[in-house]
Amino acid sequence: MKHHYVPQFLLRRWCDETGRLQSFSVRDGRVLSSARAPEYTGYESALYAVVANALGIDDDHIEKRFFSPLDNSAAVALGMIERREPIGLDEKAAWALFLNSLRVRQPDVLAHMRTEGMKILSRFLGEGDAALPAGAPATEKWLNEHLPGALEVHSLTSWLPRMVMHDAMTNRFADLHWWVIEFTAAVPKLLLSDLPIHWEGGIANDDFLIHMPIAPNRLFIGTGTEGAERYLNNLPRAELVRRVNRTSLASSSKRVWGADRNEGRAFIEANMDVLGVNVEPFEMIAKRFLERSRGF
């Protein structure tokens, strides 16, 4: 099962006439590239898989029932945004949810949920066991014996959608002014990071903004103020692309995609100083959130 943490509909926008895009990675200081079809890049095998045959849930449940419909709806909404068509509440919600999902569906988030999420569930069940009658089996032990995989299913099928649909984030994304800049052929092409979306400023700040390459020649932007919009619009287009591409390199964990092999390789080689500098493991994000919620 190929589960794409970078959706295929987004990757396809960088494909050439052969249906492939350039996939870049850096190993031992060397930039490597290969032409890949979207199906064969931006994924991990069984990333969202659940193993719960005792519950009758398909291994591919989360991909088929959640992420695939989410991506399909987002692709429709993006097309409307690009064409500057009025979008309804459904399309607006679909695009906001998709934007938030881009961080939540990353491999480090899933790894955290399969380990730390299970520990939290275990502690919760252990606390509840205190009310069980004497001699009753521990809930976790009983579930593992009679419904193997049930705890992991709960962790993934319950918490993962809740994180994607987090009200504070999705509402903030939806409140921004969404617009698209299209670049001419004379401007260098945009790169796509394995964490495609970038944001600046706290979500409660007026100057909060987001941007995401949506094609080699198009950039999606969400701004909270007219001043931010004017600033970005007034930047020389080549300089804006340079800054966005450096941001894409800074947020890349493993891979970057592009439309032009030589141009992409040259840019990465010239900007190795920022490669991965903004990558923050989800474990650290979760720890910081937990400390804030406890008032530390």
Task: Please report, in tens digits, the pLDDT of each residue of the chain (296 residues total).
Answer: 899 999 999 999 999 999 999 999 999 999 999 999 999 999 999 888 876 554 556 778 788 888 999 999 999 999 999 999 999 999 999 999 999 999 999 999 888 887 776 666 666 666 666 766 776 777 657 556 655 666 666 667 777 888 888 888 999 999 999 999 999 999 999 999 999 999 998 888 888 999 999 999 999 999 999 999 999 999 999 999 999 999 999 999 999 999 999 999 999 999 999 999 999 888 877 776 655 555 44
Q: Say how far apart CA 140 and CA 110 lie, in whole Å.
A: 21
Residue 244 lies in a domain: yes
Of 122, 139, 167, the one marking the end of a domain is 167
pLDDT of residue 130: 72
**Does 56 share its domain with 111?**
yes
**Does 180 share its domain with 250?**
yes
Residue 19 lies in a domain: no
Contacts of 138 (CB under 8 A, 6+ apart): 125, 126, 129
Q: Say how far apart CA 7 and CA 67 lie, in whole Å.
A: 9
**Does 126 share its domain with 182?**
no
Residue 292 lies in a domain: no
Q: Quote the number of domains for the chain.
A: 2
pLDDT of residue 132: 66
Q: Say how far apart CA 40 and CA 61 lie, in whole Å.
A: 21
Residue 39 lies in a domain: no
The encoded tokens of residue 244 equal 């966005």
pLDDT of residue 151: 67
Q: Say how far apart CA 102 and CA 42 lie, in whole Å.
A: 12
Residue 6 lies in a domain: no
Of 146, 167, 188, the one marking the end of a domain is 167
pLDDT of residue 100: 95
Chain centre to alpha carbon of residue 264: 22
**Does 163 share its domain with 51?**
yes
**Does 279 share its domain with 225?**
yes
**Does 174 share its domain with 265?**
yes
**Does 184 share its domain with 98?**
no
pLDDT of residue 175: 95
Q: What letter represents residue 116's amino acid?
A: E
Share of the chain above pLDDT 90, in %: 64
pTM given for the model = 0.86
Residue 205 lies in a domain: yes
Residue 193 lies in a domain: yes
**Does 128 share its domain with 207?**
no
**Does 202 share its domain with 129?**
no
Residue 246 lies in a domain: yes
**Does 183 share its domain with 278?**
yes
Of 141, 167, 193, the one marking the end of a domain is 167
From the list 186, 188, 185, the residue with the least C-alpha distance to 263 is 188
Range of the domain at 71: 46-167
Q: What letter represents residue 53's amino acid?
A: N
**Does 163 share its domain with 146?**
yes
Sort residue 56 into left (φ over 0), alpha (ψ -120 to 50) or beta.
left
**Does 61 share its domain with 163?**
yes
